[in-house]
Amino acid sequence: MKRFLVSGATGRIGKRLAVHLASQAGGLRLLVRDRSRMPVLPFSECVQGDFDDMNSMAAAFDGVQAAFLYTPAHPDPRLIQLAVKQGVQHVVLLSSASVVKVSAADNPVARRHRLAEEAVLEGGIAWTFLRPDMLASNCLSWAPSIRTERCVYVPFPESQRNPIHEDDVALVAAHAMVSGHLMGRALSLTGPSCLTIAQQVELIGQSTGTTLRCVQIDTEQAVHAMSSGPSAVPMEVARRLVEYMRKTTTTAPEISPDFELAMGRAPRPFADWVADHIVDFCPYPN
Ligand SMILES: NC(=O)c1ccc[n+]([C@@H]2O[C@H](COP(=O)([O-])OP(=O)(O)OC[C@H]3O[C@@H](n4cnc5c(N)ncnc54)[C@H](OP(=O)(O)O)[C@@H]3O)[C@@H](O)[C@H]2O)c1
């Protein structure tokens, strides 16, 4: 029996959340899909499982008080029904600001997160929804071209963003799970201010001691780049993301007070995120 379950313990947010919860009384269970990638943390146990495999999830949920769940690729209400059956009392769901920013009817990202939220709401379990708008970790997709060519290929360098550090998302998830204070709340999570892509690239350059350039590409090239390669998204999603970039050249995304209201301090600035990821952007030695 463990008090907390963290799914996606190999994920950027999940692995940080696991560290924040490892020292909590009552114990921690980590869920991973691939046994060979099990993290080693004190006071924790690791189980193998998959949201699509209900047998594995029954074992993962068993005896857990609070569970952190990523939004599955194909949300299935049976997952939450199973959590309730196994005694889980509180689900902290990593959702997305897209559920309130765009119509779920014609946006696949919003639709997936909306379905996951609805399954939790209908499951009759205490809940907290974390709705990041833009994770700062998206910028890691720039690392290969920054390291090798000292540039970033983007369709709209003046697109404005409100990036939040993934560790701030993990911290608010930990607070929700430990304190229970955020039950019944959907938190909109953003960084403390807006920056253009060009400003973000400049900050990365300053921190790595290099001069970086934004190279403007056309929208079709951007869609092609996003929908191919190791972290490819479906073409339809890529088109929406590029369209969103265009829109935010003239309309800045909102800055939410929710993180500060929950945690008693402002979310960390983008410069802090860069400092924490500096090795990802440093040029390879010659
Ligand atoms: N990017 C953004 O700007 C943004 C904005 C709003 C919301 N979000 C939300 O944040 C998420 C990204 O967070 P992140 O950066 O921490 O993600 P990440 O690093 O890609 O980690 C995702 C985790 O989920 C696990 N996972 C995936 N499918 C699973 C399944 N079927 N069963 C069990 N575990 C599964 C993965 O396991 P493996 O390691 O085995 O793959 C991994 O541990 C997005 O998916 C979205 O829901 C993102």
Residue 285 CA, ligand 1 centroid: distance in Å? 31
Same domain, 68 and 151: no
Residue 273 CA, ligand 1 centroid: distance in Å? 19
SS (H, E, C) the chain: CCCEEECCCCCHHHHHHHHHHCCCCCCEEEEECCHHHCCCCCCEEEEECCCCCHHHHHHHHCCCCEEEEECCCCCCHHHHHHHHHCCCCEEEEECCCHHHHCCCCCCHHHHHHHHHHHHHHHHCCEEEEEEECCEHHHHHHHHHHHHHHCEEEECCCCCEECCECHHHHHHHHHHHHHHCCCCCEEEEECCCCCEEHHHHHHHHHHHHCCCCEEEECCHHHHHHHHCCCCCCCCHHHHHHHHHHHHHCCCCCCCCCCHHHHHHCCCCCCHHHHHHHCHHHHCCCCC
Domain that holds residue 220: 136-161+192-253+269-281
CA distances from 60 to 87, 122, 226 (A): 11, 21, 34
Q: How confident is the model at residue 152 (pLDDT cuts 50, 70, 90)?
A: very high
Same domain, 77 and 213: no
Task: Give per-residue pLDDT as tens, 87-131.
Answer: 999 999 999 999 999 888 889 999 999 999 999 999 999 999 999
Same domain, 124 and 147: no
Does 162 sit in the ligand 1 pocket, CB within 6 Å? no
Angle ∠(156,190,197) on CA atoms, nearest 5: 20
pLDDT at 213 over 60: yes
Does 93 sit in the ligand 1 pocket, CB within 6 Å? no
Model pLDDT, residue 41 = 87
Same domain, 64 and 101: yes
Does 137 sit in the ligand 1 pocket, CB within 6 Å? yes
User: Domain tally for the chain?
Assistant: 2
Same domain, 49 and 148: no
Same domain, 68 and 203: no
Closest listed residue to residue 207, CA positions, set 122, 112, 121, 281: 281
Model pLDDT, residue 38 = 86
Residue 210 CA, ligand 1 centroid: distance in Å? 31
Residues 6+ apart with CB under 8 A from 256: 133, 162, 187, 188, 189, 190
Domain membership flag for residue 23? yes
Does 191 sit in the ligand 1 pocket, CB within 6 Å? no
For residue 249, what is the domain's CATH number? 3.90.25.10
Same domain, 127 and 147: no
Domain membership flag for residue 123? yes
* Residue in this structure with the two tokens 């833009």, named with its chain if needed: 134
Does 11 sit in the ligand 1 pocket, CB within 6 Å? yes
Task: Give per-residue pLDDT as tens, 187-196.
Answer: 999 999 999 9
Q: Using CA positions, which residue lies closest to atom 15 of ligand 1?
A: 12
Q: Using CA positions, which residue lies closest to atom 7 of ligand 1?
A: 96
Same domain, 16 and 141: no
pLDDT at 158 over 70: yes
Same domain, 84 and 155: no
- Does the predicted model carry a pTM greater than 0.85? yes
Percent pLDDT > 70 in the chain is 99
Model pLDDT, residue 230 = 78
Same domain, 153 and 273: yes
For residue 28, what is the domain's CATH number? 3.40.50.720
Same domain, 16 and 34: yes
Does 163 sit in the ligand 1 pocket, CB within 6 Å? no
Does 39 sit in the ligand 1 pocket, CB within 6 Å? no
Task: Give per-residue pLDDT as tens, 7-41.
Answer: 999 999 999 999 999 988 889 999 999 989 988 88
pLDDT at 1 over 70: no
Mutate to test the pocket of ligand 1, among 120, 135, 248 (most ligand atoms within 8 A of CB): 135
Domain membership flag for residue 51? yes
Closest listed residue to residue 268, CA positions, set 195, 182, 213, 193: 193
109 CB-side CA count, 13 A: 22
Q: How confident is the model at residue 2 (pLDDT cuts 50, 70, 90)?
A: confident
Same domain, 64 and 121: yes
Residue 201 CA, ligand 1 centroid: distance in Å? 24
Q: Using CA positions, which residue lies closest to atom 39 of ligand 1?
A: 10
Residue 159 CA, ligand 1 centroid: distance in Å? 24
Residues 3 and 135: their CA atoms lie apart, in Å, by: 28
